Structure 1
Amino acid sequence: MAEPQPPTVHEGATDDIETTSKPTSAEDRKAAAALSNLDSSADNNTDSAQVDQAAATNALNSVSEKKAPAEAAAKSKVKVDAGDVALLVAELEVTKARATELLKQNDGDAVKTIRAFLQPAF
């Protein structure tokens, strides 16, 4: 038997998903529509070809990668030395893409990047 729940607990609700905010931009509205379309097609057992794949991919990417535009623009302007990328790939055993991303996060400084990578997360 299940225990009775307090009146503030709703079935199916989770703390991880913020359901109170409404999409404000056109891109967010398209993403929300694509995600709701995915839910409805799973319920109706319709063919998955009807789902707009590009809209679904964009929706999932926008949900998972909410970054400040200024922060993303600043990171893209950092010049990364190929020798530093090779050093990180060899010493930290990461991919070239990950090494480049780490260097951009640390202003292209290899020593700062290695220290940040080895720093334990709290």
Structure 2
Amino acid sequence: MAEPQPPAVQEGDTTRSVPASADDKTAAAALSSLDQPSMSTDNAAPKKDIDSKAIGDAMQRLTVSEGQGGGAGKEAAKAEKKEEQEPAKKVKIEAADVNLVVDQCDLSKVKATELLRGYDGDLGRALRGWVGVGA
């Protein structure tokens, strides 16, 4: 059981961050309107007055800010682009190895082939890498 709390204690966030610009204020108001229940007295489904344009803009800002957030995300994006640009190595993949990975790891043939290609066709390293033991 929980210990009784003094009456002055309130749960939740005690500090409110204030949006800086008018656009941010509009976006914050639109997003907070999603959390507030509507004030209808009917037993029907609650109807919310939602500013879909403001919510769409706010969601767009969230996705943009996540992409610009840290240096690690930029480095990962650069590495991903670099991998896409490099031509795939010509590695001979044995059909028996692919079948074994499909049966034992419950992967599709395409995924099994990609896994083996990632480990230069080495079945042992590919299986250890898939399990996560280390290659």
Given the two structures, how large is their TM-score scaled by the length of structure 1? Answer: 0.47
Bigger RCO (CA 8 Å, 6+ sep):
1
Given the two structures, how large is their TM-score scaled by the length of structure 2? Answer: 0.43
Higher gyration radius (CA)? 2
